[in-house]
Structure 1
């Protein structure tokens, strides 16, 4: 039995990120931690783990509680170790020889292929690196688990695997999960904490139900604010009227009453609370348009690995203006390789045989890690290169969530969330009429994901996308293509694929 207790916990970094949090996370509680990028999720997790201090308040851990904390990034010290050695090294030095079987047990628990256990962590996919961090933590047998963005880089198969593992392995211990994946939060949590600068909100509900409850609170607060401001305005008008009458009549009583009404109005106004507004950093897209009806036509094309091994074949895939195509398929099926092939066909003079691109196509491209962004340049350098002028450059970066002091920092030093917003801003300034995007929601927070969905729909953007965010796929897709049996075939919806992947985890 264990618990984490928070009493009046606040965090200020110049301004409050959150304040006066009071809650207890006990056995069986799986708390989803929700906030925008920079909203304090990681810092709160570090405070819970004892790796950082809050600005005020107390965090109590039950006696002897062993806390496991899985951070977002793989430490550089692990990169050259094998996967097996990474897990084994997490054991106390005196137990590594006699208890090394525990490393094998945990790797079995995460269904790790034997051929992968001796690979360096550096050679693993981003998804396997995430699972390696979780396994490394789990082998220490913690009494409570803190997970910071555990779904980053996971394909759908691993995502379902992680959901299944959380349900089976973490039923009896306190768990806190920071995530931007809405479906994952719904599947894995039974509590939700929304971090806010003024008043955070905690619900004994999974994400979607908690968000609906939060919306009711926000609507009630907005209605009360409007009533209070109307009442204050009414009192001030009455006070002004009485003042005029008092001056004209020489009545001291009316002057006193007018002063009383103004004081009542001021008291009401001082008690009016500002409404919470998500500020994810503005995400906007553009669509420069084209008269072409058929933008891309793929016919008789084989998609292969970099080594030339066959992945799948496309007999015919016409992409018409307004199509929002989502690629579905298992890990390794070739989705990212197809995106790279299309990019080469659209962005290079030599093109690709079998892929015909309309001359009026203007490409907007992003890959999973925003690697098209130059790491040594600054956000200012990147955006100024579009010829927008100094003042507009500052304004655009500020709207995207970059205050003046961050506009001159090297891009390589930015957080992944900041890089994602910067990449999407640069994408918009290219004024494309075709979007080719591989995992565009990686590192983008929930408000940002929903804004991106709305922008794609509003601009009727033509696009081909890969995403493992099920909510995002459902929201924007107009056509769905599944890679299966070395073929690309159109399907009516993504639900059959999602259900098949989930069923595999349950069987």
Structure 2
């Protein structure tokens, strides 16, 4: 489908790519990985034609369509509703709909046979393009990635950047391009939305290239890894876990080959040095020297592993109780976030705050950090010293400072050598520590802000989405840092692999309260899924209430035939309602399956059945209410 041949790209005299090649097949789902600054986003822009390579070529078939989700889309604003923006994916079909409306309007005052023919042809084209289901598809995808039904008619401009990015993602998914390119999509999604997107991509009928630091998301979504390394595009057939195993094997083979070659080179060099002046061996020595000149040298394996080798020091150790929250309430107008919530953080707790966006995780984190107003009581424990990291810390960096100077101003009292050691752990080595903040990428700024947070010698850290904009190695460094941290932390994150490696407690918000699970993410996930299954299998309270209400009604003494007839009709209706509710539940389960929502025909058929059964159920419930009122 797309062939990249002998690609080179230079920024000044610095190469990002040098004679790199890659083929993208029509069903490939590729995870594009590499350190920040190695050119992942640049490659995507070259595929779209936005950037031009220095040398080489990118060829694609004429029918290839490309959809690209990138940070530039954040600037798009409009008064149109988010549903309307998403439905721009059906531009041709919406144009037909507009023509149909114009014809119908004209027919109101000027009914002619040619207009009837024109209308019939337009309606046929509209139906062929699935025009009657396009709004349902748009609504389903928007709701799948986290929007409520009430949100769909709100203007796009009312939403924050992250939510606007979700709308653009929905539009791309509805367009169904033959190549879908997503640059860090999980930065803008919460956990339920990430899981929905994983399922969607597994059955996506096209090729995908995904840039992401989220290891579990990649494992679930891709079937190939392309690593940008040493100016090349290195392909691995498998998910991210397979890539790690395969790369270790390749590195071992390469390192062995390198060491064997080095041994041969040393032997040849010794031979040349020993016999170059000896007449009887001079010819052989010259031959060996020529061999050495022509030899294609094998590169040593670069050590890409970064280790955190500094120890965290506290000015003081906190008391046993770090934070006590009692009767905490918080709302924004009619939006209730917390209501009389209680929570307790003890020394040594490593808490991950998870859940859907809009539930109040970041708000609760700011309450703990005392940067958000609230009602109730919050008490910090004895000797608790805090540091708070959030995305706005990136904007708080002094862009005129050099990196090393920025860390000096954190007030840790560390020497230049100690600070350079810390920066080395965060991938800033040698003269890079003198780079100005203003020239850094988003990921590099995140690393600087995180380093500042971690050297404050605070014993209680609060971190809001710390892995956003970081590459895989930077996330690994952060994991090591937090695993070594002997204090207490509370972090908000949607990166499940990251959470599973650092957290020993899980928080989430449910019914406006802060819930706690005392264990790892895997343990919480198993427990939570089991609880959800229990709820699904237990009788619906609504049915119980209906039966009880009807039972009370029919137990009242009645002596006429009308009363008996009503009781009979109620009993029959209850049976039908229970059967219908069971069918609706089954159809809801069907709609959530990837093989259904990934197949347009199945999706339309199942959606139509679901809507039909739901409407029938509503009618029966309304009839049941009327009968109970009569009998009461």
TM-score interval, normalised by the smaller of the two chains: 0.7 to 0.9
Residue 464 of structure 1 pairs with residue 490 of structure 2: yes
Compute the RMSD of aligned alpha carbons. Answer: 3.8
How big is each residue's C-alpha offset from its partner over 1:235-271, in whole Å with a ceiling of 9 and x where there is no partner?
A: 445555668xx7xxxx543666666666666766x71
Instruction: Quote the offset at 1:62 in angstroms.
Output: 0.9
Equivalence for 1:165: 200
On the 8 A contact 1:106/1:138 being kept in 2, the answer is: no
How big is each residue's C-alpha offset from its partner over 1:364-422, in whole Å with a ceiling of 9 and x where there is no partner?
A: 22114535624765455633534778899889778654966983353xx7432122112
Which deviates the most, 390-399 or 55-64?
390-399
Cα distance in 2 for residues equivalent to 1:440 and 1:29: 30
Cα distance in 2 for residues equivalent to 1:374 and 1:82: 35
Distance verdict in 2 for CA 1:90–1:187, change over 3 Å: same
Which residues of 2 match residues 331-480 of structure 1 at below 5 A? 331-344=357-370, 353-359=377-383, 361-371=384-394, 373-374=396-397, 377-380=400-403, 382-386=406-410, 400-401=427-428, 407-408=435-436, 410=438, 414-480=440-506
Residue 188 of structure 1 pairs with residue 225 of structure 2: no
On the 8 A contact 1:16/1:197 being kept in 2, the answer is: no
Instruction: Quote the offset at 1:297 in angstroms.
Output: 3.1
On the 8 A contact 2:70/2:183 being kept in 1, the answer is: yes
Residue 121 of structure 1 pairs with residue 149 of structure 2: no
Report which of the two has the higher share of helix. 2
Equivalence for 2:557: none
Cα distance in 2 for residues equivalent to 1:234 and 1:432: 56
On the 8 A contact 1:88/1:96 being kept in 2, the answer is: no
Instruction: Quote the offset at 1:48 in angstroms.
Output: 1.5
Cα distance in 1 for residues equivalent to 2:71 and 2:254: 35
Which residues of 2 match residues 243-258 of structure 1 at below 5 A? 251-253=278-280
Which deviates the most, 112-121 or 300-309?
300-309
On the 8 A contact 1:300/1:316 being kept in 2, the answer is: yes
Distance verdict in 2 for CA 1:375–1:83, change over 3 Å: farther
**TM-score normalised over the length of structure 2:** 0.67
Cα distance in 1 for residues equivalent to 2:302 and 2:437: 29
Equivalence for 1:109: 141
**SS state at 1:151 partner:** helix
Which residues of 2 match residues 173-252 of structure 1 at below 5 A? 173-237=206-270, 251-252=278-279
**Unaligned ranges ≥5, structure 1:** none
Instruction: Quote the offset at 1:468 in angstroms.
Output: 0.9
Which residues of 2 match residues 131-170 of structure 1 at below 5 A? 131-168=166-203, 170=204
Cα distance in 2 for residues equivalent to 1:228 and 1:264: 12
**SS state at 1:214 partner:** helix
Which residues of 2 match residues 283-302 of structure 1 at below 5 A? 287-289=312-314, 290-294=316-320, 296-302=322-328
On the 8 A contact 2:74/2:165 being kept in 1, the answer is: no
Instruction: Quote the offset at 1:303 in angstroms.
Output: 4.8
Equivalence for 1:12: 10
Cα distance in 2 for residues equivalent to 1:358 and 1:165: 49
Cα distance in 2 for residues equivalent to 1:458 and 1:77: 42
Flag the structure with more relative contact order, 1 or 2, with Cα contacts below 8 A and sequence separation at least 6.
Answer: 1
On the 8 A contact 1:236/1:262 being kept in 2, the answer is: yes
On the 8 A contact 2:318/2:459 being kept in 1, the answer is: no
Which residues of 2 match residues 1-150 of structure 1 at below 5 A? 3-13=1-11, 14-78=13-77, 81-89=80-88, 92=91, 95-96=94-95, 98=97, 102=134, 105-111=137-143, 112-125=147-160, 127-150=162-185
Distance verdict in 2 for CA 1:379–1:302, change over 3 Å: farther
Which residues of 2 match residues 311-322 of structure 1 at below 5 A? 311=338, 313-320=340-347, 322=348
Equivalence for 1:275: 301
On the 8 A contact 2:226/2:235 being kept in 1, the answer is: yes
**Unaligned ranges ≥5, structure 2:** 99-130, 534-588, 594-632
Which deviates the most, 225-234 or 173-182?
225-234
Cα distance in 2 for residues equivalent to 1:121 and 1:143: 26
**SS state at 2:185 partner:** coil
Instruction: Quote the offset at 1:191 in angstroms.
Output: 1.4
Instruction: Quote the offset at 1:49 in angstroms.
Output: 1.7
Equivalence for 2:354: 328
Cα distance in 2 for residues equivalent to 1:414 and 1:96: 44
Cα distance in 1 for residues equivalent to 2:410 and 2:491: 25
